[in-house]
Structures are given as C-alpha cells and as structure tokens.
Structure 1
Amino acid sequence: MAHNQFELLGQRRFLPFFLVQSLGAFNDNVYRQAIIALLFFLGVSAQERTLYTNLAPALFILPYFLFSGLAGQIAEKLEKQRLIRITTAMEIGIMSVAAVGFLTESMALLLVALFCTGLQSTLFGPVKYSILPSVLKPEELTGGNGLVEMGTSMSILLGMIFGGMIFVVAGQAGPEAAAASIVALAITGNLISRLVPRVEASAPDLKINWNPFPESLKALRLARKQLAVRNAILGISWFWFVGTVLTAQLPTYAETYLGGGSTLYLFCFVLFSVGTGVGSLLCEKLSRRTIEIGLVPLGAIGMTAFCADLYFAQRGLATSSGLTVREFIAAGNWRIIADLTLIGLFAGLFIVPLFALVQSRSPREELSRVIAGLNIQNAGFIVLAAMLGVLLQRESLAIGGVVLPLPGLSIPELFLALAIANAGVSILIFTLVPEFFLRFLAWIYVSVFYRVRITGVEEHVPDEGPALLVCNHVSYMDPLVISAAVPRPIRFVMYYKIFRIPGMNWVFRAHRAIPIAGAREDPAVMDAAFAEVRAALDAGELVCIFPEGALTKDGDIAKFKGGVERILEKSPVPVVPMALTGLWDSMWSRRDSRLGRLRVPRRLRAAVGLVADAPVPGETATAASLEARVRELRGDRP
C-alpha cells in the first residue's frame, strides 16, 4: 500500500496504466496540433484553415455521442488489461493511417483518422476511470485520481506544444517528422500497456447490446441513479464546460487584450494547465487521504472568484502588440498570471474529489457504464460550451430571415458571465445535495481547529463490506473527526433529541444519521434505529456507534451499554475498536458549562488523535471486551 500518491508511481499496479493514459492524451494532442501546423505548412487560405480547425474537434468528439454506450459495456465485460492492450493496438493502426495522411498531405485521410482517434478514446474512456477502484484502496483513490488528472492536464499541454513545434523544428521534413512521431508514440503506449497487471472484468457475464443508441440512454440512466453520483457527474461535466469556454478564448484574449505575440497564448494555457495539475495533486494532502467532497465547494468558490477577477484585471483592449512572454511578465501582469493559475488550481480541487466520489459510490459492476454515461454528458457540455462561447460574443444571429439579438460580450465580459454561471450551477448542486456543502463546513472546521493524528485507520477499517465502528464519546465534534479520518461514508447513530433539533435536523438527515432513543424514552424509536442499523450493515455500509450512550462528563470512558451486543446478535459483522484523544479540552466537550463552550477555545489547532485497532469478529465481541480495548487504545489522555 502507498502512503502517499507519489509512491504509486513506483508500483506496477499503477505506473504502467498512468504512463499509458498520459501517452494517449499526449499523442492525441500531438496529432491534432500537427494537423493545424500542416495547414500552415501547406499555405491554405485562412477561410479553409478555419473550416478545418472547427471541423476537427467535432469529428473527434462525435464518437463519444455515438459509441460511449457500447464502450461502457465492453469495459464491463472484458478483462481490463486486455482491453487496454486492444485500444492501444487500435491506436497503432489509426496513427499508421494518419501517418500516410501526413506523408501524402491528404487532409481527408487525416480527418478520417481523427474520427477514428475519437473512437479509440471513446473505448478507452470507461476503462481509464473504472480501473482505479480495482487497483487502489479507498484511501489511495483521491491521490490516484489526482495523479491521473495531473498527468492528463500536463500531457495535453505538452502534446499541444510538441505537435505545434514539429513543423517549426523539422522544416520541410515536417510531414515525415509528424508521421514518425505519432506512430512511435502509439507503439510505445502499446508496449507499456503489456506491463499493466491483470484486472478482472467487473461483469464478465454481461450480454452486449451492439445497438449503441439504447445503450447510450441506459448508460445515462445509470449515471443518474444515485443522487450524489448524478450531481457529481453534473459537476464533472460543468468542469469541462468551464474549461472549454475559458481555453477557447485564450488565443484571442492573449492577442487582443494582453497584446501578446504567438507564444503568449501558450503561456496562458501553461498557467491554467500547471494550476490544474497542482490543484489535483493537492487534493490528497488536503483531504487527509479520504474522499473529501468538502473540497468541491472550495474549488467552486475559487473558480468563481478568480474568473471574476480576470474580468476586472483587464477589461480594455491592449495598448501594445507582439509582446513576448518575457515582456509580458516584465510589464507587471502578475494579477492576470495569478488569476489564470489559480483558476486551474481550484479547478483541480473541484474535479478530483468528484471523480473519486463517482468511483467509490457506483456499483463495481456498473461503474464502466456510469463512466460511459459521464462521457456522453461531458461531450454534450463541451459542444454546448463551444457554441455558447461563439454566440455570446456575437451581436446578432440571422435565422431564416429573422435577426435575433445576442449579447455581443467581450472576452472579459464572457469571463465574468462564466464566473456568475459557475456560482449559480454550484449553488444548484450544493442545494440538491447538501452533503457537499456540509462536508465543506466540516472540513474547514476540522482543518482550522484541530491537528488530527490518525493511527491504524488505513490498516484496520475495511476497504469494502459492512463493519461496525465503536468509539468513546468525548465531544459533539466526534463524528466530524472520525469522518475526516475514514475514507468511506459512515452512518452515525445519534441521540434522537439532538437529531430533532430545529434547524439542524436537515443536516443530520443529509448525512443519513440514525436517531436512537432509550427503551424507557421511546421504544418505537429505539426499535426503528436497530432495524435501520441492521439494514445499513446488510447493505455493506459502515455504521459508527458510541456505546457509552452520551458524552463523557469527566473525561473518562463510561461503561459500554448492551446495544452493541443487540446489533451484533442480528448482524455479526467485524467490529473496529477506535479511540479519540485530545478532545476533552476542546470547546465542544462537557468540560465547561454551556456558556464556557461559547468562548473561543484556548488552543487553536489542538492536537487530536484517532486510533483504530484490528477488527474483532462480531460473533465473539461483547460490550465489556470492546470497552476494555477502547480504554487500552486511548491510554491516559482523555
């Protein structure tokens, strides 16, 4: 097991796959930029060049609409390493056709090959993300996705630069250099794919429906089946919408508003791409190796703020032209540099937890088809972004003799509109699924007030399947600390009167807490609680209880009540003993009076510990034995 994401790059279960997907993204962009470079090489007219540059993205993305449903089924049915070998072998064939197109300077052949490249990417897409939960542990999933997003972002950037420079460096030998490069990259990717370890098919008995259209609709329905997954997918598609609108404007923005020459556009793209890569890598550290969807609102807030600031940083046309990167920097344009970089950084914080959530909460046997549905929706958002980006900058549109007025936005105004739209979509998502925003508040609170030291959680909390977590109860913040440490979603059992507090009830419902009462208080609520705990465990979920039944009044651990034995009698699942330390001195324990708890804590960033021990078989666990184990884990520090 890797203890940080960079250790994954030294392990065979991850590194070959990472290199294959990065090389694929790199080669796709080398090819697409080389086609544009060939147009300049051939000296075609600006009108014809515009036609090709608009046709090429459409041809590349069309297979995502046509064949994603089929691709999802194939990725479900086939062993994944075999499918990766097949798709990289396809890439060799496609790039060989493209090489002939470069050598014969046949634009028609190059566009046919570009469509086939889109088809190959469509087939690879579902396996690209569905393989990660099979080779990574839950606590590695955020870091692994961060590496993949960083690799993809940097591969796109480097591929654009490499593809655009081929004809500059090679001169008259440009077509030959382009042909050799794309074929060599494809062969390299196929050779590395043979090092990917075997990963069994998730649904080997699936009967493939070769009609792609009903299967595409089915994939979209699967992607919408769970509320949290559906809205995570909406967030991912929105990320592609924002990225498409933003990056599509950079060439004109760099020239018209920043006064840049031919290299300044690439510099702007570098800033955005590097920012995205850095943000993606930061996710594991900020999330403490859990799937921390609380980072998604943080990413959305940052994207909104810095998109808006990009408007205020430069609203008017440039007063100079032909600036090099060095001249642009020397002119003191640090605000624009910071805005572009930070938009990318917060976009990375936004996208990585969403992918990890989709992977962790989708059934394993459906994940590839869910990713296929995601790819269809992404393609739709990308096309919509491209169309709106053009339409919103026009002042009118004539359709059938009718002239429709349009906003006629400048590019800075388009950035401001994008910031406002991003805020609106984010609010919509967080309203539909309050869990995102609630996790954000919890993440902020735990990060500001505590320094949490976690021991034994990765080793002892099961990666999948049911388990009962038992822990001492020190403060009202205990569930937040435990949630921040455990990479899987947890159902907490809590006192019913707290559950019903006006204004807070919706929070507890959003977190799917289970209210419980004492037998003398409300037997019906108690029986319902045990039934819901049993149902959750039967569904393979984690359930956490505090067997003391109340917060400690003196810092010591009270006697564990028999409720834990009642649960295990019906559901003898593994029991993970856990102990919290350091929270007795916090403002939310019962050490102080209610008035005392309202003051600012004496110590910000208090050192808090969570220790987990090896699971105890549910058949043999008792309240007394679990209490003794938790006491031993906690030691002398309350």
Structure 2
Amino acid sequence: MSHSQFSLLKERRFFPFFITQALGALNDNVFKNALVILLSFKAAESLPVDSKIAVNLAAILFILPFFIFSAIAGQLAEKYEKSINIRRVKLAEIIIMLMATVGFYFESYSALLFILFLMGFQSAIFGPLKYGLIPQHLHHDELVGGNALIESSTFLAILLGTIIGGTMMTLQSNNLLYLSIALVTFAVTGYLASRKIPVTPAVAPELTINWNVFREIYNNIKFMYSNKTVFLAILGISWFWFYGAIYLTQLPNYTKSTLAGDESVATLFLTAFSIGIGIGALLCEKLSAGRVEAGLVPIGAFGLSLFGYDLYLANTASNLIPTYDYIQFIGLNGSWRVLIDAIMIGIFGGLFTVPLYALVQQRGSKPHMSRLIAGLNILNALFMVFSGIFAITLISLNCTIPEIFLATAIVNIFVAIYIFFKAPEFIFRFITWLLVNTIYRIKPRNLHLIPTHDACVLVCNHVSFVDALIIAGYCKRNVRFVMYHKIFAAPIIGTFFKMANAIPIAPARENKALMESAFEKIARELSRGEVVCIFPEGKLTADGKIGEFKKGIEKIIEKTPVPVIPLALTGLWGSWFSRKNGRAMKGFPKKFMAQIGLIAGPKIMPADVTAETLHLKVKTLFESNN
C-alpha cells in the first residue's frame, strides 16, 4: 500500500526528531551565515587576512570537529539510548549559543571562530545519532521518504538560516543583539522538541568505547570498505559535500565580486540553491515510487556538472564593486540565468544525495549503523576540508570564483565515472529507471503483496529479455535474479544482468557445477532475508504462452523454506525484446510505449509449493489480465 512521505510528520516516532534536527540545522546556519557575511562585508577591512581566505578558514573550522570527534560519537550513539543523548546535545547547543552572544557583544572574531568550532563539535556528536535513529524508527519502504524530508528540511533550514542571518546583518542598529536572541531561542526550542523523541534503544550496549581517535577512525573506514556498494555510496555523499561546500562557501564573494551584488544578493542566491535542494529531495519520493532508487544518482551527477558549467558560462566577471541590492539585481540581464542555474544545481544535488543516504541505511549493517554514519561524517569532514584547501589553492593561483565553479564541475565528472565504474549497479538501476518510466507504460497491480521485510521467492513467466529489468524497476525491494547462463552471457543484455549481480544457472546436463553453485547462492540470499526472482520456464517463450515450470523451484524451497509470490507479465509479447518473430532484438525496435502489466498474486506458503501449483497460479494471473 503506497503512502505519502508527509504522513510521517503526523507520527511521534518521526515528527519530534524532525523538528529537533531542523532547528539544529537552522541554528547552525543562522550563526554560520551571519559570521560569513560579517567576515565578508562588515569586518573585511579589520581582518589580518584577505576576506576570501578568512571565509574558507571559517568553513574548515566548522567541519574540522567532524573529522576529530565523529569516530567517538559513533560509538557513543550505539552504546547508549539515543533520545537521552540527543537531549544532552541540545543542552550543549544552548550553552554554546549563550557564549556566542558574548562574542558578538565584544565583536571578538577569534572568539566567534572558536564558537564556530564548538558548533561543529556539537553537530559532529549529533550526526551519528540522527542517521542512526532513522532506520530504527522507519521501515525500508519509508527510508526514501524519511530521508527526503530530513534533507529538504535541512536545506530549508539553510534557506531560512541564510535569510535570517543575512537579514539581521543588514539591520542598521542592534543587529547583533537580535541575532543573539534568535540563536538562543532556536536552541531552547530545539531542546524542548527533543524531549518528545521516543525511546530509541541502544543497538550495542555491550560495546567498549575505544578512546583512541585515530585507531577508531581507521576502524570506521575499514568497516565502511567491507561493503563495496555502501562504501561507494558514502564516497558519493562525501563528494557532494565537497561540491556543495565549494558553492556555499564561495557564494558570498561570488555575488560581491562577480555579480556586483550586496549582502541581499548573497542571500537571494543561497535561497535559490536551498530551494533547489529541497525540491530535488522531495522529487526523489515521486521519481523512485517509494523504493531506494540508485538509478537517480547518475541523473543527479550529470545535472551537477551541466549546470555548474552553465553557471561558469553565465558570468565570468571578477573583482567588481558591490553595487546592486536583490531587487536591482533581478532586473539585470542574465540574472535569472544564474539563479536558475543555482536552483537546478540544488535539484540535481537532491536527486544525487537522498538515494545515497537511503542506500547506506538500507544496505548498511544495522548494529553498526551509527559507526557507519560516523565514518561517513569523517569522510564528509575530510572532503569539506579538502574543498577549502582546493578553493584556497585556486584563489592563490589567481583563479576567479567562476573558474573555481568550472573546475569543480569538471572534477565531478571524473568522480562520477569512478563511482559508477566501481559500482555498475548505479548504471543498471539508471537504465532500469529509464525503461520503466519512458520506454513502456507499465501498470502494476497488487505489488503490495510482495513482503516488505522478509525473504521470499518471486516466480514469473518469461516473455522477453527485459522481464527482469521491469520487475526490478517496480519491486520496492532489491531483487537477486536467477538467469539462464546463456542469457547472462549475452553480449548486450547480459551486461545489464552482470551489473545487477544476477545469479547464472544452468541445467545439470549442461553444467552441473554451475547449477549447484546457483542453488547455494540462492539459499545464502534467502537466509539473509533477501528477495530472489526466478523464471521457472528456464527460457524465453517462443509462442507467447507460458511453458512448463521446471522442478528447480521445489528444490529451492525445500532447502530454504520461504513464501513464494507468483507474478505475471503481460503486453511484452511482440516487443523488440521478445521472440515473436524468431530471434529477439532483431531489426529495428518496435512496440515502444506499449502498455505492460505486472501483476502479483497472493503468497504461497512453502508447504504448498510445487512446480505445477505455481504454473497454474501464474497462468491464471496471466490469462485473467491479458
């Protein structure tokens, strides 16, 4: 049964935590953006270094605690109950914000930079609690929607923090007083919301804390690397924070020296970027139909480079004097182009990151989730520090800020190619997503009958070479397909099945060793609670009818007793991928945009499974819906 991601906002298991983390992100960004604008515009002449360098140093100071303390924070998040620790973190935030009021009162920039470091420390402790709590309270089919809400609210907080921090810095009198009141108020409100977060039990109460930071950082990274797909997803997230840090850090000076805008233009530009991120995050739920859809990641990567490049082309000026406020700027030629570029970078950034966060939470080890997130935060911190070093280096080489954006867009292409080459599943999911959303009009029915959490076997009639892709595109769970070894080895379509990590199988008379190996892999997947799909006919239909089901399904269920879900595919006979006219994929493609049916039937318990029974169930589904 499908449900809206926004329904989570009505539930106590999610809403108080949602408010708590949103207010924390808001406070971070009100303080951080106010300080950046203070360094860029108000205090530029009194700083001992160039304001561009000072702004990048501030970014490094905020992110440095994530590298130093995340490993310890991950252990604490797993050893102790999370809701209590969240409340302690929010109390610390109140104290830090009271210290910030003193720093603003005395206009002590060194003290404010130290407080920025403390804010980073508080956020580093909160991170593993935040992303470790989500999979404890949400089901697999809620992860995309929950992460979309968290990410969109985070960037909405960036938006509001940008507006509030920027607006307060433009006030003619008492601006620092009003800013201080706002910071303390948000901190107190966040603490009150945290008191409503339900109990979230410790996942490893027996854990012994390793206080050796460097040893634990090594352990975290080593553990992340043990699961290749999860590690590459984490690498992708960290790269996005590198990419995003470049833009968020350089935008104040970009608006000043390239767009000739004042503080209000910087706020406008950051607003456009934040709105884009929120839109992209919420689009993920719609485009992925509620599943963890890695196929959106290549789309996001492509868009980040495309619109990053266009932002460079839109305006390459440098060293201009701030002249325009946001109203005057909107009326200038080319202003809408750069604003649309900022929005589109945000949208594609949301499409890039939300599926990756959900993928980490879905595929990562549950007892080690907080430490996994701690490792993610360590890599995020490293990448964001590298982004500051990268920007400072280019500035020292007399590169303009538009040229920094261009260099980042180019590097993004190479990072994306590396990730997709190492984890071809992303490309497989992208191709699958295109297939089910553009080439065919697919009408799924009763797919909610597929269990959302436990192991099961899907059995389906075999009409075409794209049957597996269609099932993979519409099943909300990850599916391991069992493929006839000759199809698995086919020159083109076989490549996709290799990307999907399909299991090749052969009849005993052709390759007994391969058959036995396939049964072992199937049993291993089912014992882990995964979904396996087989086509019991063993070959594509040559006449459009459902052939005899082989006895292999009985052997699978006998070895690993799990429910079986019958599926039927309709409408694919006569397509380019079927054998209606002899050999499949011959001549020019045809029957695109045909309406395809994918129908699920009620589950069959292991004791009732026979090849004949399953054949009858699938045939009935097929004939009643064809």
245 and 115 in structure 1: CA distance in 2 versus 1, 3 angstrom threshold: closer
**Counterpart in the other structure of 1:307:** 308
**Counterpart in the other structure of 2:143:** 141
Q: CA deviation at 1:170?
A: 7.9
**Counterpart in the other structure of 2:480:** 491
Name stretches of at least 5 consecutive residues in structure 1 with no aligned partner: 396-407
1:216 aligns with 2:217: yes
Q: CA deviation at 1:141?
A: 1.5
366 and 170 in structure 1: CA distance in 2 versus 1, 3 angstrom threshold: farther
Q: Secondary structure of 2:546's match?
A: coil
Any idea what the Cα deviations from partners look like across 1:23-45, whole Å, max 9, x if unmatched? 10001112234445777999784
129 and 115 in structure 1: CA distance in 2 versus 1, 3 angstrom threshold: same
Q: Secondary structure of 2:413's match?
A: helix
**Counterpart in the other structure of 1:564:** 553
**Counterpart in the other structure of 1:462:** 451
585 and 132 in structure 1: CA distance in 2 versus 1, 3 angstrom threshold: farther
Moved more, 569-578 or 376-385: 569-578
Q: CA deviation at 1:320?
A: 8.5
Work out the CA distance in 1 between the residues paired with 2:37 and 2:337.
32
Equivalent AA in structure 1 for residue 440 of structure 2: Y
Moved more, 292-301 or 106-115: 106-115
State whether residues 260 and 321 of structure 2, in contact with CA within 8 Å, keep that contact through their aligned partners in structure 1: yes
Q: CA deviation at 1:449?
A: 1.1
Work out the CA distance in 2 between the residues paired with 1:38 and 1:422.
31
**Counterpart in the other structure of 2:465:** 476
State whether residues 17 and 197 of structure 2, in contact with CA within 8 Å, keep that contact through their aligned partners in structure 1: yes
Q: CA deviation at 1:352?
A: 1.1
Work out the CA distance in 2 between the residues paired with 1:32 and 1:504.
50
**Counterpart in the other structure of 1:540:** 529
Q: CA deviation at 1:438?
A: 2.3
Q: CA deviation at 1:312?
A: 2.0
492 and 194 in structure 1: CA distance in 2 versus 1, 3 angstrom threshold: same
State whether residues 39 and 55 of structure 2, in contact with CA within 8 Å, keep that contact through their aligned partners in structure 1: no
Equivalent AA in structure 1 for residue 544 of structure 2: G
Identity, % of aligned pairs? 45
**Counterpart in the other structure of 1:402:** none
State whether residues 262 and 322 of structure 1, in contact with CA within 8 Å, keep that contact through their aligned partners in structure 2: no
1:576 aligns with 2:578: no
Work out the CA distance in 1 between the residues paired with 2:516 and 2:94.
62
Equivalent AA in structure 2 for residue 229 of structure 1: V
Q: CA deviation at 1:308?
A: 1.4
State whether residues 163 and 271 of structure 2, in contact with CA within 8 Å, keep that contact through their aligned partners in structure 1: no
1:23 aligns with 2:23: yes
Moved more, 161-170 or 186-195: 161-170
1:344 aligns with 2:346: yes
Work out the CA distance in 2 between the residues paired with 1:277 and 1:241.
18
Work out the CA distance in 2 between the residues paired with 1:98 and 1:117.
10
Work out the CA distance in 2 between the residues paired with 1:76 and 1:159.
31
Give the alignment partner of residue 416 of structure 1, picking from 378, 397, 406: 406
Any idea what the Cα deviations from partners look like across 1:189-224, whole Å, max 9, x if unmatched? 121122222332222222222333311221121222
State whether residues 78 and 371 of structure 2, in contact with CA within 8 Å, keep that contact through their aligned partners in structure 1: yes
**Counterpart in the other structure of 1:398:** none
For normalisation by structure 2, the TM-score amounts to: 0.93
State whether residues 253 and 411 of structure 1, in contact with CA within 8 Å, keep that contact through their aligned partners in structure 2: yes
Q: Secondary structure of 2:444's match?
A: strand
**Counterpart in the other structure of 1:527:** 516
90 and 162 in structure 1: CA distance in 2 versus 1, 3 angstrom threshold: same
Any idea what the Cα deviations from partners look like across 1:224-259, whole Å, max 9, x if unmatched? 211111111111111111112223222232233223
194 and 574 in structure 1: CA distance in 2 versus 1, 3 angstrom threshold: farther
Work out the CA distance in 1 between the residues paired with 2:34 and 2:318.
31
Work out the CA distance in 2 between the residues paired with 1:17 and 1:632.
47
Moved more, 577-586 or 365-374: 577-586
Q: CA deviation at 1:21?
A: 1.0
State whether residues 223 and 371 of structure 1, in contact with CA within 8 Å, keep that contact through their aligned partners in structure 2: no
Moved more, 590-599 or 144-153: 590-599
Work out the CA distance in 2 between the residues paired with 1:163 and 1:12.
30
383 and 487 in structure 1: CA distance in 2 versus 1, 3 angstrom threshold: same
**Counterpart in the other structure of 2:269:** 268
Q: CA deviation at 1:268?
A: 1.6
Any idea what the Cα deviations from partners look like across 1:321-358, whole Å, max 9, x if unmatched? 61233333323323322222211111111111111111
Work out the CA distance in 1 between the residues paired with 2:105 and 2:394.
40
**Counterpart in the other structure of 2:84:** 82
Matches within 5 A, 1:21-420: 21-35=21-35, 45-48=45-48, 50=51, 53=55, 55-103=57-105, 109-169=111-171, 171-172=173-174, 174-317=175-318, 322-333=323-334, 334-395=336-397, 408-420=398-410
Q: Secondary structure of 1:586's match?
A: coil
State whether residues 459 and 533 of structure 2, in contact with CA within 8 Å, keep that contact through their aligned partners in structure 1: yes
State whether residues 258 and 318 of structure 1, in contact with CA within 8 Å, keep that contact through their aligned partners in structure 2: no
Moved more, 491-500 or 571-580: 571-580
Give the alignment partner of residue 511 of structure 1, picking from 494, 500, 505: 500
State whether residues 318 and 400 of structure 2, in contact with CA within 8 Å, keep that contact through their aligned partners in structure 1: no
Give the alignment partner of residue 422 of structure 2, picking from 426, 429, 432: 432
State whether residues 59 and 249 of structure 2, in contact with CA within 8 Å, keep that contact through their aligned partners in structure 1: no
Q: CA deviation at 1:563?
A: 0.9
State whether residues 219 and 373 of structure 1, in contact with CA within 8 Å, keep that contact through their aligned partners in structure 2: yes
Work out the CA distance in 2 between the residues paired with 1:197 and 1:39.
41
State whether residues 277 and 345 of structure 1, in contact with CA within 8 Å, keep that contact through their aligned partners in structure 2: yes
State whether residues 223 and 370 of structure 1, in contact with CA within 8 Å, keep that contact through their aligned partners in structure 2: yes
420 and 44 in structure 1: CA distance in 2 versus 1, 3 angstrom threshold: closer
Q: CA deviation at 1:633?
A: 3.4
**Counterpart in the other structure of 1:500:** 489
State whether residues 87 and 195 of structure 2, in contact with CA within 8 Å, keep that contact through their aligned partners in structure 1: yes
Q: CA deviation at 1:103?
A: 4.8
Q: CA deviation at 1:560?
A: 2.2
Equivalent AA in structure 2 for residue 620 of structure 1: D
Any idea what the Cα deviations from partners look like across 1:362-413, whole Å, max 9, x if unmatched? 1101111111111111111111111111211323xxxxxxxxxxxx322222
Count of residue pairs the alignment pairs up: 623
Work out the CA distance in 2 between the residues paired with 1:330 and 1:102.
35
Equivalent AA in structure 2 for residue 601 of structure 1: K
Work out the CA distance in 1 between the residues paired with 2:459 and 2:501.
18
State whether residues 60 and 384 of structure 2, in contact with CA within 8 Å, keep that contact through their aligned partners in structure 1: no
Q: Secondary structure of 2:154's match?
A: helix
For normalisation by structure 1, the TM-score amounts to: 0.91
Q: Secondary structure of 1:453's match?
A: strand
Q: CA deviation at 1:621?
A: 2.2
Work out the CA distance in 2 between the residues paired with 1:348 and 1:40.
28
Q: Secondary structure of 1:206's match?
A: coil
195 and 440 in structure 1: CA distance in 2 versus 1, 3 angstrom threshold: same
Equivalent AA in structure 1 for residue 23 of structure 2: L
**Counterpart in the other structure of 1:444:** 434
Equivalent AA in structure 2 for residue 375 of structure 1: N
State whether residues 582 and 637 of structure 1, in contact with CA within 8 Å, keep that contact through their aligned partners in structure 2: no
Moved more, 71-80 or 377-386: 71-80
Equivalent AA in structure 2 for residue 500 of structure 1: A
Work out the CA distance in 1 between the residues paired with 2:255 and 2:341.
14
RMSD (Å) for aligned C-alpha atoms: 2.6
Q: CA deviation at 1:480?
A: 0.7
**Counterpart in the other structure of 2:539:** 550
Q: Secondary structure of 1:199's match?
A: coil
Q: CA deviation at 1:511?
A: 1.8
531 and 53 in structure 1: CA distance in 2 versus 1, 3 angstrom threshold: closer
Equivalent AA in structure 2 for residue 46 of structure 1: S
365 and 595 in structure 1: CA distance in 2 versus 1, 3 angstrom threshold: closer
**Counterpart in the other structure of 2:598:** 610
**Counterpart in the other structure of 1:453:** 443
